[in-house]
Amino acid sequence: MEFKIAVLAGDYIGPEVMAEAIKVLEAVGEKFNHTFHFNEALIGGAAWDEYREHLPKQTLDICENSDAILLGAVGGPVSEQLKPKWLNVSTNALLPLRKRFDLFANLRPAKLFPALASACPLKKEIAERGFDILVVRELTGGIYFGEPRGRDGSGDEERAVDTMVYSRREIKRVAHVAFKAAQVRRKKVTSIDKANVLTSSILWREVVEEVARDYPDVACDSMFVDNATMQLVRDPAQFDVILAGNMFGDIISDEAVGITGSLGMGASASLGEGTFGLYEPSGGSAPDIAGKGIANPLAQILSGGMMLKYSLSMEKESNAIEKAVEKVLNGGKVRTPDIGGSSTTREVGDAIVEAL
Ligand code: NAD
């Protein structure tokens, strides 16, 4: 089969880890007899240098003509955020991309590979039990998009407003994604809200409970977000699928990936109603380690694996990537510094290809 993939490597470590993901996908293509056409396009600071825009039309056109988008990361050093090249780069590049393709469901696996138990920042006995969580975060609604927003007034009366708003339709469609995912996992959904305080959370909980009735094989409970952040570090093994709105999901998913040991391990998929999707690591462009050849490429490689599964219906090819990653980690020798090794980005990519 032939597929067109839009490749938006982005800034700093983006191109470094992307090169390894492409190498791995090409190896998968060879092994399983598929042809991937990788169409590169600029995004973020890299696009700014060329077009004075963070998401130029040329890039959107390439995305529109593809079966899926594989994205690296955008952004500059934290100390340079106010320079025009980096100002609001995530808002300008990533939010419109998600909105344009209506990618309302963000799937972020947080799995502690047994071989990496020592990289887990939690107590040894918790790490040794392991965990395998899938966070499903609503991505195009809630407080990050709600209107009205903005500032008014002056002096001590100046105010800033954001609006947390969810419609029944928005909650329903992302809840279905979470329950369907749970059906092929350990059959449990924990929905995160703040229904003791927020009206939008009360609707969230009502709708999730309604959707749950369509999935009698899946257990469903709700948890307040403050408790959930605490439970996640006390007993992460209790969770299977975590379902959350945009802001709570943003926070919870970073925490969940963080306890696996490194942001460099966190893959993600952003999906809409069809098979089209955007796949990217959970971490950012990591300017602090860029150019040194030590960035962990596994998040990008595993994001490529998610792309095969969710956009290209290649379940066994996707599993082959996961197995190869597990094999290399179990081998214990080839690891980048963030997970306790001394290998380079390229050596890790080569080892995954070899394992495949
Ligand atoms: P970051 O995720 O880039 O880095 C945080 C820490 O994690 C750093 O110490 C970094 O070295 C480490 N890290 C991240 N990915 C790694 C990898 N693959 N291998 C090894 N270590 C890794 O976050 P930050 O430093 O707060 O932000 C840097 C820039 O990235 C900012 O401009 C920010 O806006 C942007 N950002 C972009 C995205 C995105 O493109 N989706 C997400 C988050 C942050």
Q: Any catalytic annotation for residue 12?
A: no
> Residue 310 catalytic?
no
Query: Can you give 112-133 as a three-state secondary structure string?
Result: CCHHHHHHCCCCHHHHHHCCEE
Q: How far is CA 25 from the centre of its chain?
A: 18
Q: Write the residue with the smallest CA distance to atom 34 of ligand 1.
A: 75
Q: What is the pLDDT of residue 1?
A: 83
Pocket residue to mutate for ligand 1, from 8, 18, 87, 90, most atoms within 8 A of Cβ = 90
Q: Give the DSSP H/E element, type plus range, for residue 234.
A: helix 225-234
What is the reported pLDDT for 264?
86
Query: Ligand 1 centre and the CA of 9: distance in Å?
Result: 14
Instruction: With H, G, I as helix, E, B as strand and everything else as coil, classify residue 51.
Output: helix
- The identity of residue 278, as a single letter, is L
Q: Report the pLDDT value the prediction gives residue 355, as an integer from 0 to 100.
A: 97
Backbone φ/ψ region at 221: left (φ over 0), alpha (ψ -120 to 50), beta: beta
> Which of 91, 139, 338, 342 for mutating ligand 1's site (highest number of atoms within 8 Å of CB)?
338
162 three-class SS: coil
Residue whose CA is closest, atom 42 of ligand 1? 284
Q: What is the pLDDT of residues 321-344, one digit of tens each?
A: 999 999 999 999 999 999 989 999
Among 11, 23, 144, 240, which one carries the catalytic annotation? 144
The answer to whether 310 and 298 have CB atoms below 8 angstroms apart is: no
Hey, what domains does the chain have and what are their CATH numbers?
Answer: 1-104+278-356 (3.40.718.10), 121-259 (3.40.718.10)
Our mutation pick for probing the ligand 1 site, out of 55, 74, 92, 301, counting the most ligand atoms within 8 A of Cβ, is 74
* pLDDT, tens digit (0-9, with 9 covering 90-100), for 144-184: 899 999 999 999 999 999 999 999 999 999 999 999 999 99
Tens digits of residue pLDDT in 201-218: 999 999 999 999 999 999
Among the listed residues 250, 279, 310, 338, the single catalytic one is 250
C-alpha span between 343 and 347 (Å, rounded): 6
194 part of the active site: yes
Atom of ligand 1 nearest to the CA of 281: 41
* Gap from CA of 254 to ligand 1 centroid (Å): 11
Rounded distance from Cα 78 to ligand 1 centre (Å):
10
Entry pTM: 0.93
List the residue whose alpha carbon is closest to atom 4 of ligand 1.
286
Ligand 1 atom nearest to 288, measured from its CA: 11
Label residues 20-57 b or e (16+ Cβ within 10 Å = b): bbbbbbebbbeeeebebebeebbbbbbbbeeeeebbbe
Q: Does residue 67 carry a catalytic annotation?
A: no
Residues found in the chain: 356
**Low pLDDT (below 50) residues in the chain:** none
Distance (Å) of CA 221 to CA 189, 274, 333, 337: 7, 28, 41, 38
Residues having CB closer than 6 A to ligand 1 are 13, 17, 73-76, 78, 90, 94, 263-264, 280, 283-289, 295-296, 299, 338
Would residue 226 show up in a list of annotated catalytic residues for this protein?
yes
Residue nearest to atom 17 of ligand 1 (CA): 264
Catalytic residue among 23, 111, 194, 309: 194
**Strand 241-244 to strand 188-193: parallel, antiparallel, or no bridges (unpaired)?**
parallel
Question: What percentage of the chain's residues is helix, strand, coil (to nearest 5)?
Answer: 50, 20, 35
Specify the ligand 1 atom closest to the Cα of 71.
40
Which of 16, 18, 285 is the best mutation target for the ligand 1 pocket, counting ligand atoms within 8 Å of the beta carbon and taking the most? Answer: 285
